[in-house]
Amino acid sequence: MMQAKFVKHTLTFKHPSGTSRGILTTKDSWFLILTDHGKRGIGECSILRGLSHDDRPDFEDTLKEFCVQINRGQPLMDLTQWPAIKIGYETALLSLKASNPYELFPSLFSQGKKAIPINGLVWMGSFDFMKEQIDSLLARDFDCIKIKIGAIDFDEELRLISQLRSRYDENTITIRVDANGAFAPEDALSKLKQLSAFQIHSIEQPIAINQWELMSSLCQKSPIPIALDEELIGVFDAETQSKLLSQIQPQYIIFKPSLLGGFSNTQRWIDLAQQHNIDWWITSALESNIGLNAIAQWTYTQNSILPQGLGTGSLFINNIDSPLVINKGCLWNDNSIPWKEIF
């Protein structure tokens, strides 16, 4: 009979990483480990404090109860409201059934023959710190850079973006920005117009969530394409999902499988986006390499041509050693590098 247990792993950032929601120094994950007839599988239950739908005081108790249900062969709880546990279980089952527990979605990517283009990520901080990050990404041949904005003075952020654009035109470097909902509704359109001078590819979540009418108006009027991100969190039923996309009509959507309830739920979002002719890309949510590996392999099978947001594995000093490497702005699976055994 299948058995389950979990191990908590707190990731530590190499450098404090800033968003408009605050500064991140650590990040909690739980590895869900399944065993059955001598085989083992692993998945990651990853939450973002203050953002994940299941960031609740009873998260670990719920995960413990879920493991007890597996171990006793009892009916399993409905995980709809627990997206992190759902993707962890979904991944662990795939890992358990696979001939290689780390190759969940066999493809040219998992075999190390093809790469996934990704954006480089610039965290908030002082002007000099953000410029230093940009210079580092350019030196590593990234041609798509995502800059988190909303923390320092907006004029300083414009100056930073202006400097980057003055060095590289839009055909050489793609610039994305992510406000994480930081713009006040009354200021948002003005700021979007100012940003548009620098040929911005897109802006993620310019205003806070649950303002569908305002967000819809911005999507119609903004000179910069808008991408929904946090807006999708906690929206689990198909009817509300379709209503959200129909009303807001964004130009892009960003999918974080760990926050949306796994691959099956994210696939439903993708299908809806395609029905509404909305383009999209997939990003990680600061998982360890266990979760990032699963998300990256699944992402490759979706055949998106846009740069994905999957470059977060190198942010931590205590990540799980893995074959995932970044080279020239792309994520590769280098199978000459072994996984660190953590079972």
State how far the Cα of 340 lies from the Cα of 328, in Å rounded to an integer.
24
CA distances from 71 to 31, 66, 101 (A): 16, 9, 20
Could you confirm whether 27 is annotated as catalytic?
no
Main-chain phi, psi angles of 194, to 5 degrees? -65, -40
State how far the Cα of 65 lies from the Cα of 51, in Å rounded to an integer.
23
Could you confirm whether 148 is annotated as catalytic?
yes
- Nearest residue to 176 via CA among 137, 127, 217: 137
Main-chain phi, psi angles of 43, to 5 degrees? -140, 165
**Dihedral-angle region of residue 38 (phi above 0 means left; psi in -120 to 50 means alpha; beta otherwise):** left
The per-residue b/e assignment along 223-240, b for 16 or more CB within 10 angstroms, e otherwise, is: ebebbbbbbbbbbbeeee
3-class state of residue 144 by DSSP: strand
In degrees, rounded to 5, the angle at the alpha carbon of residue 104 between the alpha carbons of residues 100 and 108 is 95
Tokens of 60: 């670990």
Q: Which of 27, 86, 146, 148 is catalytic?
A: 148
- Nearest residue to 297 via CA among 264, 254, 255, 263: 263
3-class state of residue 338 by DSSP: coil
3-class state of residue 96 by DSSP: helix
Q: Where are the alpha helices (DSSP H) in the chain?
A: 59-72, 83-97, 127-139, 154-167, 185-195, 212-221, 238-248, 257-260, 262-275, 289-301
Task: List, by residue number, the catalytic residues.
Answer: 148, 256
